[in-house]
Amino acid sequence: MNSKLLIDAIMRQTTILIAQLSTAAGIRAPLAHLADQVFLHLASEIEAQGVGRKVVADMFGLALRSYQKKVQRLTESATASERTLWEAVLDFLKERGSASRKEIYKRFYQDEERHVAAVLNDLVNSGLVLAHGRGNSAAFRMSSDAERKRFFDEAEADSLTAMLWLALSREPKTLAQLKAMVPVKGEAVEQAVKTLVHDGRVTLDYSARPPVLTTQTVVIPVGTEQGWEVAVFDHFRAVANAIASKVRGGTARSSQADVIGGATLSFDLYSGHPYEAEVYGLLTRVRSEINSLWNKVASYNRTHPAAGRERRKVVFYFGQNVEELEAEAIKSRDYK
């Protein structure tokens, strides 16, 4: 296996994903901290696998002392942020108090209107800005402290609750361990845990000392916006972990008997293709089949608990994407 070629290809694909996320809906997310963040996380993970610091430093092409100083500097430094269109529009509204859509477009005439419109939409959805009216005459104003606090408290509580629920699906944790995982106040974690326990999504096992929080399943329903980020991250992590497990297994090939691995198939279609509907329906059919199997397993497990037996978690991932191809590209692929 040529590890360097594989790592380079994965890095390129990952940067494409990050680029899409950072410019989603026209929003320019600050990326100044990204390179340092990647270095720190990568160095930490390699060291966690038992590789000595001198070897890790050599992998980065650094002398040991230079590597240690860089890690220390980045760990102690605050995250830098760069000015974005999002921040510029927000500052403009702070200065003006309120402004119409037309006035905002005029102020940011050098940016594409669709980007400015996307930023305005995001600011409204995030609770920082309130909108009144429609079209170019719509007025935007900064929300008050009380309005923002109410919005943020509700939104952050929902996101935090979903993230903690996902964390507990991997392994049981104490309240102290959960608090150490997230950079928020302990009171917020406690409230999120209370919500999870009250909803029946999490169980508090008092027989352990200290008490341990457990959960059997995490379900983010299709069509919901709440927890969408958690669902995306969980899917991405499942794919990455499966690849890592395959690599750790020491084999670079697949077999029919594999229980760890994946498969990727692509179908070349055109409008009116006799199998068009059948291919497009793959996602719906597989979802339906897997949900049916998941419900049967969950129902059986409720009446037949593991009771001390060795447990395994099987994580199955799948997805579907549709890419528009140029007519000439399709022709060359079909007939060359």
**Residue 159 exposed, middle or buried by CB count within 10 Å (0-12, 13-18, 19+):** middle
The 10s digit of each residue's pLDDT in 211-242 is 888 886 665 555 555 556 667 777 787 888 88
The 10s digit of each residue's pLDDT in 92-107 is 888 888 899 999 998 8
Highest mean pLDDT among 2-16, 42-56, 322-336: 42-56
The 10s digit of each residue's pLDDT in 52-94 is 999 989 988 899 989 888 887 776 543 333 456 777 888 888 8
Q: What local confidence, expressed as pLDDT, does residue 156 receive? A: 65
**Among the listed residues 320, 318, 316, the one whose alpha carbon sits nearest the alpha carbon of residue 260:** 316
The residue type at 21: L
**Residue 25 vs residue 177, higher pLDDT:** 177
Q: Is the pLDDT of residue 149 over 90?
A: no
Q: What local confidence, expressed as pLDDT, does residue 168 receive? A: 79
Contact 138, 122 (CB under 8 A): no
Q: How many CB atoms are closer than 10 A to CB 222?
A: 8
Q: What local confidence, expressed as pLDDT, does residue 155 receive? A: 58
Distance (Å, rounded) from C-alpha 303 to C-alpha 313? 18
- pTM for this model (two decimals): 0.49
